[in-house]
Chain A
Amino acid sequence: MDSVMSFFGLDCTKKKEKEEERHLRANDRELNLSYKYATNAIKTSKYNLFTFLPLNLFEQFQRIANAYFLFLLILQVIPAISSLSWFTTVVPLVLVLLVTAVKDASDDFNRRKTDRQVNNRRVSVLVSGELRSEKWMDVQVGDIIKLENNKFVAADLLLLSSSEPLNLVYIETAELDGETNLKVKQALTVTGEMGDCIEKLAAFNGEVHCEPPNNRLDKFTGTLTFRDQKYALDNERILLRGCTLRNTEWCFGLVIFAGPETKLMQNCGKTTFKRTSIDHLMNVLVLFIFGFLAFMCTVLAIGNGIWEFQEGSVFTAFLPRPDGVDASFSAFLTFWSYVIILNTVVPISLYVSVEIIRLGNSFYIDWDRKMYYPRSDTPAEARTTTLNEELGQIKYVFSDKTGTLTQNIMTFNKCSISGKSYGDVFNFAGQRLEITEKTEKVDFSYNPLADPKFSFHDHSLVEAVKLEAPEVHNFFRLLALCHTVMAEEKEEGNLLYQAQSPDEGALVTAARNFGFVFRSRTPETITIVEMGVQKSYELLAILDFNNVRKRMSVIVQSPEGKLSLYCKGADTIVYERLHPSCSKLMDVTTEHLNEFAGEGLRTLVLAHKNLDEDYFREWSTRHHMASTTLEDREERLDELYEEIEKDLLLLGATAIEDKLQDGVPQTIEQLSKANIKIWVLTGDKQETAENIGYSCNMLREEMTDVFIISADTPQEVHEELRNARKKMKPESEDEPTIIQRGILDKKSKMLPDETVDGEYGLVINGHSLAYALDKSLEQELLRTACMCKTVICCRVTPLQKAQVVELVKKYKQAVTLAIGDGANDVSMIKAAHIGVGISGQEGMQAVLSSDFSFAQFRYLQRLLLVHGRWSYLRMCKFLRYFFYKNFTFTFVHFWYAFFCGFSAQTVYDEWFITVYNLVYTALPVLGMSLFDQDVNDRWSVQFPQLYSPGQLNKYFSKTAFFKCVLHSCYSSLVLFFIPYAAMYDTVRDDGRDIADYQSFALLAQTCLLITVCVQLGLDTSYWTAVNQFFLWGSLAVYFAITFTMYSNGMYLIFTASFPFIGTARNSLNQPNVWLTILLTSILCVLPVVAYRFLLIQLCPTINDKVRFKVRQAKVALPPPSFRTRLRRRSSRRSGYAFSHAQGYGDLVTSGKYLQRGAISRGRGFSSSIQQRSGALQEMPQMYRAVKDASQ
């Protein structure tokens, strides 16, 4: 996988002569070819049949581990140094290279296949005056191509003309940025005039000068020169490769960038590698091990020098030295010989095994049925298979709100109409009932136009509508008229609303179901069906929403000729503009509003007034004047709006529930029990964010305090942050204590965690956050925020989201996770250690850049508490065990050196050395690292505290590693000296030799293998049949292979390779050999058992306690109780929660956004193109958060 990315990095940034400016002329292939621009053929595969072997090997040997083993191999072929046969390194190396090569080859083959598929797509190209169907790969810069509906855009095009009025095209950019909503692009009028006239298009010879290829999706600058006129080109005129044409019959485009130079392809190589903290630790440890290896080799080399000087020189009669080798040179050679022998401390199979384990644990995530969301048929997906164990170490979770915590579905839940509250269900005794799935729903079948998906439970509201109470009717009439929703009626009675904000959609849908059906609109009229009667209202004015006004109004004239103004808006705003006669009603409504707010609902207040016709005519003229002036237009309009929106009559209030995803409060509770801090970063308004904070239990009434940071200057922000911190912890120092993390890199600092009494919450808005993220304030922000249990940042831009994540990463040695669903979360998903995408909500962009994806926020609990914890546990167990078994293996050589004249003689048979890691011990340890679980998933969720060892790096750290080394040291001493003493001067039971080198080697390796197997058994806490099979199988395989290799047949065929003939038969039938093996294994394991038992007795960890409890419980756990959320009663007033963008009013009146077909073409498009493109900017563009932030 690494290689894949490195390839992308390689390919996308391939150095070329830097292109300063692109110049091309339409329909002039000769000129365009002279620039040698890339053609539209893409090539993401990197090998062909001949280059595969050299290229792939070259890439593989760029990895340090492989290069190191190549180096060892070279050492081994030097006869004077070679202490081991070449095959001890070659066999594992070839195996590893082979596996990787096969994987790379199959990856590349797949890429090749998709490349070919894409390159062979057909598109109509205008060649020498006629349209020809050509393959994508034959398209060249400067060609004019014709695209049809629902087809992919073949290259980056300059839009020339389209079938749609005003040369608009609609495109879907889901593949590019994940947004599924349609975007509008528009051709220049001058090119648009050509239409689909082939002659004109063939004669088109416009010249384009534009920017060189780059990867900015949202920007384009260039000019078109046509008929001696220059036209500016911007992103509005460009169709990017990867988009899909929608709702547009055809369009023509001029190819600007092709193939690898398209913005899509330019965007592909920027992914940064994520490495887990275990990876980092392992790198450090490997460095340490290399140092240690060098140290051991030096000691042994010195030993060899001394030995050669003292003993070797007098032993030459029996063992002459090679020519020109004296004691010191021999020591030098010995150093390298021991490098070869002791290289098993950094075994090549470690890296392979780690990858396999991660892959296996990723598959478990893909396979988990409890993370599968049936409604969208989405299973969880581990998109990155190299980060699993980090899931068990998360300390900070950064979550998006909309679409992640909430469903972004608004439901009309309650309302208050002229002092009466509707929406609750009461039983006969008058007690309020909890509304559940089973509560009886109101039957809307009397209304043929009702939306079947809408549900409401309070029957009294329907009764009120049926009783034709004027207030109730006015209430719903308002909801049906005062909005900017578009209706689409594809077939009779099947209405589809396209609302700009889900709140509005919910309100209009509610009105529809209660008998006030909004049916269609034109720029001048709104047609509604009132209780079965179709009426057309004249739409006289839309007093649009904006952030300051926090309300919107419409002025309509009923078919009867009555003029009315309908207004909906934030309670505080609308209350100021009510007629004094409403004061009594206001009080009742306020009470209701408080009640709604306390339940976390979003509220709006509705009011209306009747207008005097003369007054309105007069106002209307002034309004027209104001809207056409050039100076202070905004202010003058605002004044006019203020003037007319007064003395309103209160109708009531609506309450909309921003539906949380399922199980969000429970998940958050569980995660916070696991000591994971959750920060919500949202583009939403402060009020909405707070609201959600309360409804998902992050903020609670019983919290000691909730600080709200919303200031306008850096000083104020600093002041507020410091005050908050002082309030939480009066004794906290002003100057933060900074821990230098390492000696080596002075730059990395760390802020220690400060603990406070009580629970606090922090809400900070985007404006303050911008200041707080400044270098001078960031530490203050972090200290304060980390003292709080809950942090909510609102009005955050995508960039700020990433900055917050980076800030925590920078100063806290903690693992972070970001979870989000939209394109605006991409930056934070990429910035965090782990990015999680919610799939199936807002397009794919977040998912595409995420490491893990699933459909529901609540699965995060399982991902972390179960999969993450297990992965971490398994990885740590694996590493501890792996280092243990290899160190033990290697250290025995070290001890033996003192008895063989430091001659780099191995203790074991060379074949044993070759296959020890690959065959004898590979499967049992893999089995453990794939199946082990201390307690099962339900207990893991039951006791979130089990998660905390991962956050504290308890299971694998430098200390743990050091313990491993000590343990290995002890084991290797036992493993060498017990056989040594047991075999010293002893003989077989028939008097023959048994203290020979080969028998000793066999004894030592058997002891070693049995000891490491027993140790593995001790480490395994979850013995499945597979584990048993692997463990016993490995031992059986060991004896089988040993007997085979030491058999007569093998010796007679490969005399030189298997000199151990007969050793197994002759020594394994000796009782004292087996007694030695038993003693050695027992002696190796006993202290470990005693130590672990003592630990459990004296200072049991949470883990031990839970396991003990599981053991005691025996009976199955009771099913996890999903407690229903407590209803909160609070005096908090929910703010204006009208997630609405400004400018829709214009769109509606201009008619441009209206569905085609609803109005006759051309009508209503009277305003100039400039204005229109201005209006277009107000439409949701590429990124949702940009819209949020621009408010």
Chain B
Amino acid sequence: VMASGYSAKEEDGHHSGALGPAGGAAVRSRKPDNTAFKQQRLPAWQPILTAGTVLPAFFIIGLLFIPIGIGLYVTSNNIRELQIDYTGTESSSPCFACSQNYSWNMTTPCVCSVSFSLDQPFESNVFMYYGLSNFYQNHRRYVKSRDDSQLNGNLNSLKEPSKECEPYRTNDGKPIAPCGAIANSLFNDTLALYYNDPNGTETQIQLVKRGIAWWTDKHVKFRNPVGDDSNLTAIFQGTAKPVNWQKPVYELDSDPENNGFINEDLIVWMRTAALPTFRKLYRIIEKNSSTSPTLPRGNYTLKITYNYPVRSFEGRKRMILSTISWMGGKNPFLGIAYITVGSICFFLGVVLLIIHHKYGSRSSSADLTH
């Protein structure tokens, strides 16, 4: 385009091509270089879809996927999982009363117990989750309502939280720590599990609260602010607790390694879920002896300190006990999907084979004329 305009260079008579070889031998030839790149002759692999490649591929994928799928499915089925919904919206539910008269700043906790029995013993470590449904932890306004710097122990952010935290940024002129809607809505039901011995005694099962968060979260992403004083209470002086919380952040746990921002329950909650139905790791029941199962067959009681309101938005609360495998928790989908896709591949392979036999000659070049 440019060349069609006037340019002084062309006025000079140095335009391309007009002079030709008249310039003399000194002028370098304008013959383009003979390189594979410039001549578009780069060596290349030119695969095309032929029956010889496509059909075997289909069969191989089919033959590969079906066993994988079966393996996955079996693994998933071998995982023991127990879910107990304790939302308490139904009048028959033991937690009905707690769910009905609820308010955030309740002083006396409402406790309800749910009994259940295990038909099969849970071997190895058992993981206890709480599950929430219809809870939009992935809402954009919710997701961004946090201050990572504050949670990382930045003292400036502690005093001056990010604007993203609004409206949970300050309370009574004091900065909220931890600020934001996520922290504010921290799940605060307390779950306790009791084994009802056949002899009638009720033994509390030891629930481990450490090691439920990602290592990176616990050690890198979340840090308590460090001040002159090693005392958390002193460091958090001048901050307000989140509106819905009953205790300030430095009183979440007595263990100093699990208190403040590095409280693992907080960390787990702060890792927002991708979907409105989610479960979060609550406690771990560690296997004690190699001989007896972690949770033997029998009756259990789940005691819930009911603090967390979900009724208003038709949410559900669950307690889940689950063992795990190499592929994580119970999820039969992957297994089924692999089996289905494998079968379809195999079937498609057969169909394509038939079609190729019947019509394959069309792509040959018999009718090509020069």
Interface residues of A (CB under 8 A from B): 1-2, 4-5, 8, 42, 44, 79, 83, 107, 111, 114-115, 117-118, 152, 174-175, 242, 244, 264-265, 267-269, 271, 273, 311, 314-315, 317-320, 322, 337, 364, 366-370, 372, 374, 376-379, 381, 383-386, 839-840, 843-844, 847-849, 853, 855, 870, 899-901, 903-905, 931, 933, 936-937, 942-943, 978, 980-1001, 1021-1027, 1048, 1051-1052, 1055-1056, 1059, 1061-1062, 1065-1066, 1070-1072, 1075-1076, 1079, 1082-1083, 1086, 1089-1090, 1092-1094, 1096-1100, 1102, 1104-1112
Contacts and interface: CB of A to CB of B under 8 A. Distances in A.
13 contacts: A1-B1, A118-B8, A271-B1, A337-B140, A367-B32, A368-B32, A839-B17, A900-B140, A901-B139, A982-B333, A992-B213, A1021-B48, A1052-B152
Nearest to B216: A1062
B262 interface: no
B313 to A, nearest CB: 4
Contacts of A993: 213-214, 268, 271, 280-281
Contact of B279 (A985, A1086, A1105): A985
Contacts of B12: 117-118, 152
A848 B7 contact: no
A1023 B44 contact: yes
A656 B7 CA distance: 42
Contacts of B70: none
A1098 B20 contact: no
B325 A1023 contact: no
Given A1062-B216, A1072-B331, 10 more contacts: A268-B5, A319-B139, A322-B166, A377-B27, A379-B31, A386-B1, A993-B268, A1089-B54, A1105-B368, A1108-B48
Given A4-B1, A985-B331, A1061 B216 contact: yes
Given A175-B11, A1071-B327, A372 B2 contact: no
Contact of A1023 (B46, B181, B314, B338): B46
B115 interface: no
A314 B8 contact: no
Contacts of A372: 30-32
A1026 B221 CA distance: 40
B114 interface: no
Contacts of B154: 1055
A1075 B72 contact: yes
Contacts of A1109: 365, 368
A987 B324 contact: yes
A800 B338 CA distance: 68
Contact of A271 (B5, B51, B356): B5
Nearest to A983: B274
Interface stretch (B130-138, B192-200, B249-257, B290-298): B130-138
A1096 B363 CA distance: 6
Contacts of A1108: 48, 50, 363-365
Contact of A1056 (B40, B149, B275, B356): B149
B150 to A, nearest CB: 9
Contact of A4 (B2, B65, B143, B268): B2
A1089 B57 contact: yes
Contacts, number: 381
A377 B30 contact: yes
A1093 B138 contact: no
Contact of A320 (B31, B181, B341): B181
Given A840-B20, A997-B274, A903 B141 contact: yes
A695 B221 CA distance: 82
A982 B331 contact: yes
B220 interface: yes
Closest 8 interchain pairs by CB? A1062-B216, A1000-B274, A268-B6, A1109-B365, A114-B8, A991-B127, A1100-B363, A367-B38
A5 B362 contact: no
Contacts of B13: 174-175, 244
Contact of A1 (B2, B213, B352): B2
B356 to A, nearest CB: 6
A1031 to B, nearest CB: 12
Given A991-B281, A997-B137, A1099-B362, A2 B273 contact: no
Contacts of A847: 17
B32 A315 contact: no
B211 to A, nearest CB: 8
Q: Which of B137, B273, B328, B367 has most chain A Cβ within 10 Å? A: B328
B26 to A, nearest CB: 13
B277 interface: yes
Contact of A318 (B185, B278, B364): B185
Contacts of B365: 1105-1106, 1108-1109, 1112
A1089 B214 contact: no
A1035 to B, nearest CB: 18
A377 B20 contact: yes
A374 B7 contact: no
A1071 B327 CA distance: 6
B93 interface: no
Contacts of A42: 8
Contact of A319 (B41, B136, B359): B136
B106 interface: no
Contacts of B271: 993, 996-998
Given A996-B273, A1072-B327, A1072-B328, A111 B57 contact: no
A378 B27 CA distance: 13
B50 A1111 contact: yes
A1062 B47 contact: no
